[in-house]
Amino acid sequence: MKHWLIATMILAAIVYALALDPLLDLNLDTPRFVMLARSIHDGQGYFGRFDFVDRPETQIPYLYPLILSSVVAISGPEAYEAFKVVSLVSILLALWAMWFWMSQWTTADEAKWIVILAAFLTQTQMLASRIATEAPFLAASFACLGFMERVVGKPNSRLRDWAAVILLIGVSFHLRAAGWSLLASFIVALLWHRQWRSAVTSGVLGLAVCSPWLIRTIQFGFGYSGEFKLNTPGPAAILFRIAYNGAADVAKSLPDLFFYPFFAPYLPYEPMFFLKAFVGGVLFCLMIAGLLKGLKQVTSLREASATAIYFVIYLVGALSWTVHGERYLLPVLPLLIWGLIRGAGRWRPALQVLILLAGLAGCFRTIYRTREGIYPPEETGFREAAQWVKSHVSPDDRITSRYPTWIAAVTGNRGTRWSEINDTEVLRRELVENHTPWLILDRNKTVRETGADLFKPLIEKDPAEFQLAFESSATPSTRVYHFVALH
C-alpha cells in the first residue's frame, strides 16, 4: 500500500474519531437501524416496531442491522458511539477501496488527489460519525467497481476478480437497495464489450447473491414502491423529476457536498441562496469541462469503461428517485472530484487547495462543537423532552412527534408523526383516532414550519384540551402536552 495512502487514512481516522459523540442522531433512518439491530439481537425477527403495529421491514436490507446487532451483543443496546465506530472503520475501508478503484481508471496522481480530497470533506467526516448505511455501502461498492474494472473488457480476467465482483454486488445490495446499479452496470458493461456469455452468467449469479432480499420484497412488497407510485403518475413525472432533481443537486447538493457547512444555512427561499446556487453552477461547469476533456481521449464508444457505464446508470437512477440530496451523490463522489480537477485545468492546484482547506475547516469546526457539546438548541430541547417522557410517561402511552421512530428507540413509546397540514380539525382528529395522549412540539424546521407553529392554532382554539406537562430549558423551547380530551 502507498505510504501517502496509509498516512491519509491515519490522519483521517484521527479527524473522524475526534468528531464522535455518544448521541443518537435525530435525522434519517438512524433509529430504525438501531431498533432493527436490537430486534435481531433479541431474536424478535426483522420487524419494525415504531408505530402501533409490528410490520415486516421492507425498506432496509438485512446486512447493516445484522452488523449492528453484533455491537448490541458486545456493547449494549444504547452504545451509540460504538455503533458509529462501525461507520468510521467503514469509511477508512472506503478510502482504500476508492484508491483501488480510481488507480485502475485514471492516472496515479489524479487517484491520489481524489482520495485525499474525499477523505477530508466535512461530509465524509459526518458519514464516519453517523449510524447509517452509507459508509459500508461506499466501501463495498467502490471495491466492487475496482474489481469490475479488472474484469470488463478483459476476456482472460482472473476467476477471483469475477468472484469478488459478484460477492460485492451481493454485499452492496444487502446494505442498500441502490446496489442494483452495480449489477445493472456489470451486465451492461459486459454486453457493451460483446461478452455475451459472461453477461448472462453474471446476471444469473448476481440475482442469486441478491436473492435473500429480493425474495423478501416479493413476499412482503418493496417498502419504497408506494412512495414511488404516489409521486409518479406517468413517464412525464419521471422526466420532470430528473430535471428538477438535477437542478436541485447543482444549486444545493454540490455546494453542500464540497463546502459544508458554509452554505448550508442558505435555503431556497432565502435571499442569499443565489450565492449558493452560483457556487453550485461553477462546480457543475467545471465537472462538465472535465467530462468533455475525458471524452476527447476516448477514440471509440466501444472503449467505454465499467466506471463510465456505472456513472450513467447510477445517476439516472438517483435523479429519477423521489428525493434528492448530497447523500445520493456520494456513490459517485470520486468521479465528481475527478471531473472537478480535470475541468479546472491550470487552476487545478488552487482548486485542490481550496477544497482541502474548506474541508479541513469544516472538520475542525465539527470537532470543536462535538468536544464542547455544542448542538443546535432545537435538537437539545427535543432531547430534553424525550428524557422527560422516558422518566414520566408510561411506555405503553402513544406519542405524536416530529421524530416518532427516534422517540420509540430512546423512550420505548410508539407513535406517529403528525400530518403537515394546516387544518386544526384534521390534526385533532388524528390524535383522537390514534389514541395518542401525548404530543411533543419542537422547534426543528421542516422547510418553513415547526411543530409548535403547526399546532399553535389548535392549542389556542381548545386550550382546555392540552395540558402543558414539560418545557425544555433550551430555547427555543420544546414542549410536551398532555391531550386530556382522550380521558
What CATH number has the domain bearing residue 393?
3.40.190
Q: 457 lies in which domain range?
A: 377-486
Q: What is the pTM of this model?
A: 0.94
102 in the same domain as 19:
yes
51 in the same domain as 10:
yes
351 in the same domain as 441:
no
432 in the same domain as 369:
no
User: What are the tens digits of pLDDT across the range 333-388?
Assistant: 999 999 999 999 999 999 999 999 999 999 999 999 999 999 989 999 999 999 99
Q: Is residue 414, in this structure, part of any structural domain at all?
A: yes
User: What are the tens digits of pLDDT across the range 112-134?
Assistant: 999 999 999 999 999 999 999 99
101 in the same domain as 24:
yes
Q: Is residue 184, in this structure, part of any structural domain at all?
A: no
How many domains is the chain partitioned into structurally?
2
The residues that bridge with 470 in the sheet, in sequence order, are 480
370 in the same domain as 474:
no
Extract the C-alpha cell encoding 30.
Answer: 438512524
pLDDT of residue 153: 75
Amino acid at position 314, single letter: Y
351 in the same domain as 476:
no
With 0-12 CB in 10 A as exposed, 13-18 as middle and 19+ as buried, what is 74?
exposed
8 A C-beta contact, residue 479 and residue 472: yes
119 in the same domain as 70:
yes
C-alpha–C-alpha distance, residues 363 and 358, integer Å:
9
94 in the same domain as 124:
yes
Q: Is residue 291, in this structure, part of any structural domain at all?
A: no
Residue appearing with cell numbers 457547512: 261
C-alpha–C-alpha distance, residues 480 and 454, integer Å:
14
Q: How many residues in the chain? A: 487
pLDDT of residue 299: 63
Q: Is residue 329, in this structure, part of any structural domain at all?
A: no
Q: How would you classify the pairing of strands 438-441 and 415-416?
A: unpaired
384 in the same domain as 368:
no
With 0-12 CB in 10 A as exposed, 13-18 as middle and 19+ as buried, what is 17?
middle
459 in the same domain as 428:
yes
Q: Is residue 427, in this structure, part of any structural domain at all?
A: yes
Q: Is residue 278, in this structure, part of any structural domain at all?
A: no
State which residues of the chain have pLDDT below 50: none
pLDDT of residue 4: 95
Angle (CA) 265-447-21 rounded to 5° is 60
pLDDT of residue 229: 75
Q: Is residue 233, in this structure, part of any structural domain at all?
A: no
478 in the same domain as 351:
no
C-alpha–C-alpha distance, residues 132 and 27, integer Å:
10
Q: Is residue 295, in this structure, part of any structural domain at all?
A: no
| Domain end (from 359, 374, 389) | 374
